[in-house]
Every structure is written in structure tokens, then in C-alpha cells.
Amino acid sequence: MTSQGSDLFMVGVTGTNGKTSTTTLIAAALAELARPVAVATTLGFFLDGEALDVPAHDRGFVATLEACRARGGRYAAVEFTSEALAFGAAKRWPCRIGVFTNLSHDHRDAHGSAEHYLASKAQLFMALAAGGAAVLNGCDASAALLTEVLPADVEPIRYGTESRGAPWGKLDLCARSVSVGWFGTRCELEPSARFEGAPRAIEIRAIGAIFAENALAALAAAALAGVPVEIAAAALARWTPPPGRFEVVAEHPHVVVDYAHTPDALSRTLVTARALCRGRLTLVFGAGGDRDRAKRPLLGAAASAADRVIMTSDNPRSEDPRQIAAEIRAGLSAHAPVEEELDRARAIESAVRDASRDDVIVIAGKGHELVQIVGDESRRFSDQAVALAAHAERHST
């Protein structure tokens, strides 16, 4: 096991939404202790900011850990999907610290039930190394169940913000208030007996209350790993958000690309956009084919918060995009004007062309992805590139 990098201090992150952001926030803070930091997320495998050309599966992960150690690294920040955990990844690579972001509807096709989905997430915490810690979202009720499966010598640490709901236990790290603007997100912190020396506030460049949760989780995990809390907070402030996470690609009108592809994530993204919007809020989105059909009407219900909805294709895979759109439409309320343009580029172009200067356009679902999967074909496609081109054309006429 040593040859596979198990001697590295590993921090694992799981949950439904916010895994990639939390993982990269943690990595930014761990880099204050030793470089490089091995980073594994849905975006790929990295040493600090260097993307590694390794296979996108276990062998690539092992190669990343070994490369980190060979260059003198001592730490790894790892995003664990529920599928990887269900196949025993946490037992093979046990972490010293486990982080839980939140739980909402997703991957029901893969797991069959919410209970099995949570049980898969729980594998990370059941396998934590002796003397480790579990950093849990103290305002997500499902996280309370994880405390019941922790090894006896693993310390539970709770963080939270009021945007998630009432805490289910005493919080060790809590945001007194959260403010969000086009500048990013700022959290005013409650004094913490567990994390003495924590600053009165932390700021990050990502936009949205969900990122306040991610920052609190990262601050706690980094401090538990040995990063002085004030140094960790400064590292979080310098962090560059991952692509496709409420990524502002243009202004006047503001165009935002977001990876939100679950009902909870889409709802929270639209809440953030609405708070910042001085005009009309337009949403362009779809749903992936051959994936969790049960969430499609729930996505439609979340989309109803927009003033204008343009349903389009996501990654339809083998399904008919018209059928996917019909299943989403079942959840849309009648008050929101709904259009259907299944050519994703045309849908984005229409949204940008018809917007006023004060509008906000949210393009949701694909985020960082650079391909669109239609049938068995992967076609090059970037929401950001299409939106930028449409925005430039708008301002050139």
C-alpha cells in the first residue's frame, strides 16, 4: 500500500453538491504546509495547479499520489463520488479527515434509493483512520446519521450556515452572516472555542451561499490537518474557483455558467442569481440522458424561479431530447414562460441576444464540460465559448 501513496495525509470530500469546490479549497490551504498537494476531482488529477496526463480511473489516481510523494508532497485532497465509495475506494485509500458537504436528490438511478445513496457516502467516514476527524455539515439533517457510524476514535466536527437550515447539533464553526455579491462571498464568523484564532470573517472569490458552506468545511479541515487557522483563511481568499461553478463569463448582461444539475443545486444557483439580478432572470438548461429520470420534474420545479426558461439539450446520450424536455416540463409551473430550443448553442445565443443590460442569464447543467454527448458521439462543446461569442456579437451590432 505504501507504493500507492497511503503514507500521504489524505483529506476526503463527499456529498451531493460542492465536492469539487470544497476539495480545491482544502488543497489551497494544505499547500501552506507542503507542496505539491495531490488533488483528485471530477475535473481530473492535479499536483497543485498542474493537470496530470494520467488515466481517468484508479491507475491515474495512484500515479498522482506517487508523483506527489516523489516531488516531496505530503498531502492529498480527494473528491470521492458515491459510486467510487460504493466500490470500496475509502477502504483502499483511508483518509485522515473526511468532509461531508450535503445530501440531496441525485444518482437515484445508480443507487436505487436515498438510503443506499447515503450509505455509500457513509463509507468514507466508516473507514477514517484512527485519530482522524469527520467534518460534517451541522445544518444538513442527513449528516447527523453519519455520526452514528464513525469509529470511536474519530472526532466529529460540525460546521454550518443558516441557508441550509437549523443545526442538528452544536456547531464548532458557524457563519453569523453571509453576504454575496459579484465580488464573491463573505462570511462573518461566530467565535469558536474549537478553532481559536479563527478570523472574524473569511472571503472567497466564488459567488453564492453554498460556497460559504464549502469555505467553512475547508477551513475546519485545513486547521485539523495542521494549517494555522489564520493562514488557512488567507489561502482560501487567494483560491481560484473551479471552472463552471457560478462562473461569470460576461457582464451587462451578466452571463453565468454553472454545473448545477441537481434540483437542490439549481434552486440555490437561481436564488443567488435572483439576489444579484436587477432585471430579468433567464435560465437555459436541460437534463442528462440515461441518468436519474426521477429528478427531471424536480429540476423543472426548481427552474420555475426564473423569469424566462429555455429548455435545451444537456448530454442526451441515447435518449430523445424531446422526451427529456417533456419530463422536465411536468414539474414547471405555469407562471414561468417556457421555450424549447433543443440545439444548445442556439438556446444560449437566443438568451444572450434577447437580454437587457440588467438581466442575468444562467446556463446550467454542464459547467466545466467541454463535450456534449449525443448518442455514442462526444462533440466538442463549451457553454462558456458559445456564450462569449454570443455576447461579443451582441455588443458588435
Grid coordinates 460542492 are at which residue? 18
The architecture in CATH of the region 247-396 reads Alpha-Beta Complex (3.90)
Q: Tens digit of pLDDT per residue, the chain (397 long)?
A: 333 446 899 999 999 999 999 999 999 999 999 999 999 999 999 999 899 999 988 999 999 999 999 999 999 999 999 889 989 999 999 999 999 999 985 545 554 567 778 899 999 999 999 999 999 999 999 999 999 999 999 999 999 998 899 999 999 999 999 999 999 999 999 999 999 999 999 999 999 999 999 999 999 999 999 999 999 999 999 999 999 999 999 999 999 999 999 999 999 999 999 999 999 999 999 999 999 999 999 999 999 999 999 999 999 999 999 999 999 999 998 766 899 999 999 999 999 999 999 999 999 999 999 999 999 999 999 999 999 999 999 988 7
Q: How remote is the C-alpha of 99 from its chain's centroid?
A: 13
Residue 2: predicted pLDDT: 36
Asked if 111 contacts 16 with a C-beta cutoff of 8 angstroms, the reply is no
C-alpha cell at 71: 516531488
Asked if 283 contacts 270 with a C-beta cutoff of 8 angstroms, the reply is yes
Residue 313: predicted pLDDT: 98
Residue 69: predicted pLDDT: 96
Using left for φ > 0, alpha for ψ between -120 and 50, and beta otherwise, residue 388 falls in alpha
CATH for the stretch 2-238: 3.40.1190.10
Residue 198: predicted pLDDT: 96
Q: Where are the domains of the chain?
A: 2-238, 247-396
Mean pLDDT, the chain, rounded, equals: 94
In 288-370 the beta strands, taken as DSSP E runs, fall at 308-311, 338-340, 360-364
Residue 117: predicted pLDDT: 82
pTM, full prediction: 0.95
Asked if 249 contacts 255 with a C-beta cutoff of 8 angstroms, the reply is yes
